[in-house]
Amino acid sequence: MIHLQNIAKSFVQWSETIDLYSDLSLEIAAWEFVMITWQSGSGKTTLFNIIAWLQTADTGEVIVHDTALHTLWDDERTIWRASNIWFVFQKFHLVSQLTVRENLELPGDLSGLTKRYTVQEMLDMVGISSKIDIYPDQLSGGEQQRVAIARAFLYETPLLLADEPTGNLDLWNTQNIMQLIKDLQKQTWVTIVMITHEQEILTRADRVITMESLIG
Ligand SMILES: Nc1ncnc2c1ncn2[C@@H]1O[C@H](COP(=O)(O)OP(=O)(O)OP(=O)(O)O)[C@@H](O)[C@H]1O
Ligand SMILES: [Mg+2]
């Protein structure tokens, strides 16, 4: 499903070069639920971005779902992402001018993606269907994250990338959201790659990969 081969990435900060990875390779099978973890600054978010080629690597190849992302034009990649990857970010990325229902409808309206469930069914599954017609800033952080997760599972995209999706939540909400993601994955067979630094949720993954083991 995901094939990263010989990825190198460095940044220049002032006059100093930081070699984040010099030869990183990674294989993730379809339907796996993988968590990537390690300390702050170890390059987790950068890797997340490289998997979707939101950020380019200096060398190496990224093949996702049989598509060599590094070989596509920007426009082709954007179209490809829209039907193949859903992202969940730490800060939710909900559209504040749209209601919960409209936030969930938007990706379908924009790119014609097929829904797995109705919006109402999906919101029932995440336990917030009573909030369907209100705006994101009228929701708590945990509720906003539920909307973001509902939106991620609503459409038939085979891959879900999540960067610290529980980073803003208390332990109670974190456990609930993780259970929810786990249940949704069983029903939808989505491949999930989740970045996290939270030790207590690692047991939920099929496989845990440390940045240390990738960088060597
Ligand atoms: N655009 C950039 N320019 C220069 N350096 C960068 C850039 N992006 C990231 N870095 C550096 O690369 C390193 C890794 O950053 P990254 O965001 O991938 O870490 P992370 O593991 O996600 O950390 P955190 O757990 O704090 O989110 C950091 O030291 C950062 O300073
Ligand atoms: Mg990060």
Query: What atom in ligand 1 is closest to the CA of residue 211?
Result: 21
pLDDT band at 72 (very low <50, low <70, confident <90, very high): very high
**Identity of the amino acid at 34:** V
Region 137-150: mean pLDDT is 91
Residue 90 pLDDT: 77
Cα–Cα distance, 20 to 8 (Å, whole number): 8
Backbone φ and ψ for 158, nearest 5 degrees, come out as -75, -20
CA of 126 to the centre of ligand 1 (A): 32
Please tell me if the CB atom of residue 42 comes closer than 6 angstroms to any atom of ligand 1.
yes
Whether the predicted pLDDT of 16 surpasses 90? yes
**Span 173-194, pLDDT tens digits:** 888 889 989 988 988 889 999 9
Note the ligand closest to the C-alpha atom of 37: 1
Element (H, E) at 193: strand 191-195
Note the ligand closest to the C-alpha atom of 40: 1
Residue 9 pLDDT: 97
Please tell me if the CB atom of residue 13 comes closer than 6 angstroms to any atom of ligand 1.
yes
Query: What atom in ligand 1 is closest to the CA of residue 47?
Result: 18
The residue contributing the CA closest to ligand 1 atom 27 is 40
Residue 89 pLDDT: 83
Region 31-36: mean pLDDT is 96
Whether the predicted pLDDT of 7 surpasses 80? yes
Higher pLDDT residue, 172 or 45?
A: 45
Please tell me if the CB atom of residue 151 comes closer than 6 angstroms to any atom of ligand 1.
no
Cα–Cα distance, 47 to 55 (Å, whole number): 9
Residue 125 pLDDT: 87
Region 46-74: mean pLDDT is 95
pLDDT band at 171 (very low <50, low <70, confident <90, very high): confident
* Tally of CB atoms within 10 A around 73: 8
Share of the chain above pLDDT 70, in %: 100
Please tell me if the CB atom of residue 11 comes closer than 6 angstroms to any atom of ligand 1.
yes
Select from 129, 201, 119, 190 the least CA-distant residue to 167.
Answer: 201
Residue 110 pLDDT: 84
- All domains in the chain, ordered by first residue: 2-215 (3.40.50.300)
pLDDT band at 34 (very low <50, low <70, confident <90, very high): very high
Residue 43 pLDDT: 94
Whether the predicted pLDDT of 22 surpasses 90? yes
CA of 40 to the centre of ligand 1 (A): 8
The two tokens of residue 140 are 């708590």
Residue 180 pLDDT: 86
Confirm if 49 and 87 have CB atoms less than 8 A apart.
no
CA of 47 to the centre of ligand 1 (A): 10
Confirm if 60 and 178 have CB atoms less than 8 A apart.
no
Region 121-148: mean pLDDT is 92
Region 115-130: mean pLDDT is 92
pLDDT band at 126 (very low <50, low <70, confident <90, very high): confident
